[in-house]
Amino acid sequence: MEQGRVKREEVKAKELLKESLPALITGGAGDDPAGVLTYTVVGATTGFSQLWLLLLSTPMLAAANSMAARIAVSARDGIAAVIKKRYGRAASFTIVLMLAIANIATIAADTAGVASVLQIATGIRWQIFVPAILVSLFAVLRREYTQVKRILVSLTAVLLAYVFAAIVAKPNWAAALQTTLIPHVGASKAWMVASLGLLGTTISPYMLFWQAGEEIEELQEGITIQTGEMGAGVWLGMVYSNLIAFFIVVAAAATVHAGGANIRSVADAAEALSPLGRAGMAIFVVGILGAGLLALPVLAGSTAYAIAELMGWPEGFGATGAHARGFLVVLVTALVGGALISLLPNFRPADALYYSQVLDGVLLPVLMLMLLVLSNDKQVVGNYKNPPWVNWMAILTIFVSLAADFAALVLH
């Protein structure tokens, strides 16, 4: 009897792990080089004081991705396609256009970020590495979805480098835990700007389109997804994402607190952590490389999913020939376009990140409201409507993102 119970628990654990893999990739991609830069600036300028915001945003992030996954699995279609059916082509086109512009700007900034840390490691000009980054990404993305998923899941493990970076920094863990559990709101403009950047980076629209696209890919692979139980798998991925963000903030706070004003690029962020010594720097650089190689396919993939759904094209990784040709063209165009932008003489990654976050900030509350309505619409999800906690967290996310947009206008 006991042996049978243990076996059933093992089967449940394996099923949960399998269901959490798409969310693990989504969550890991949220800690892209742009996110690493933001979290480093947050830690450097505000110390531990904003760690509680990561705790607050975790259920918000889980709720957002849970809604995206629920809609995709129930409707057997992606977010852009469902929005087009329910709200019309114009609404879907506007959302997809804003998403694509923000994604390509972020791809440009992330490409420059990955290349710049390679320059730190080798002393070779970072522009030389951009073609090599593209080649390595194309080598991954030409594979079947199952292989792509396996590679991206492996890259999420590289993000654990930031855990080691935080340990090497030897922070005051008691103070970090206290500020995580007890909210504190700073009165300065720098504190408010940093909080907006943290929340904007944590919950990004591209993650929602990617999560939905992955769920469709899972269904196409014949993987059974239990609509009513998908929340647990999503939670694992989102908790992992914000835990990594937590350790980045802690590492920066422990080493360069009050010195974040001069951090304007991923290279600056890496160099700012030089008090960690060579080992700490190496850990940080490895983390950036893994984060970039994970996030760039997700950014390009979410763009390709959205445009393919808008246009009514077949979609999916690893497809060849005429099948899903449009999807693959958009995927390649997004990566190459972003890489070319990063090579422009006057390109400034910090500006690209700022304006892409502005677009994301405008898009997020609108998209969240649509997802909230759709994931409670019986015609879309049938009997698998959101559980109450998802609805409440979605409403909170909408209000917080609107408040962040308003504050950004006032503070900028």
Structure tokens at 386: 């959101």
Confidence at residue 375, expressed as pLDDT on a 0 to 100 scale: 93
Q: What digits encode the pLDDT tens for the residues 85-140?
A: 999 999 999 999 999 999 999 999 889 888 888 888 888 888 899 999 998 888 87
Residues whose CB falls within 8 Å of the CB of residue 292, separated by 6 or more in sequence, listed in order: 32, 33, 110, 111, 113, 114, 133
Structure tokens at 23: 């969310």
Rounded to a whole number, what is the largest CA-CA distance in the chain?
69
pLDDT at 358 over 90: no
Residue type, 272: A
Q: What percent of the chain has pLDDT over 70?
A: 85
pLDDT at 79 over 80: yes
Structure tokens at 210: 């990617």
Query: d(Cα 324, Cα 318) in Å, to the nearest integer?
Result: 9
Are residues 43 and 246 in contact, defined by beta-carbon separation less than 8 angstroms?
Answer: no
Comparing 75-89, 350-364, 388-402, the range with the smallest average pLDDT is 350-364
Mean pLDDT of the residues in the chain: 82
List C-alpha distances in Å: 70 to 6, 194, 205: 30, 32, 16
pLDDT at 284 over 80: no
pTM of the model: 0.87
pLDDT band at 274 (very low <50, low <70, confident <90, very high): low
Query: d(Cα 394, Cα 231) in Å, to the nearest integer?
Result: 14
The closest alpha carbon to 289, from 301, 281, 279, 278, belongs to 281
Residues whose CB falls within 8 Å of the CB of residue 403, separated by 6 or more in sequence, listed in order: none
Q: Which domains does the chain have, with CATH numbers?
A: 21-411 (1.20.1740.10)
pLDDT at 206 over 70: yes
Q: What digits encode the pLDDT tens for the residues 135-180?
A: 888 887 877 777 888 888 888 888 888 888 888 888 899 999 999 9
The closest alpha carbon to 102, from 399, 406, 364, belongs to 364
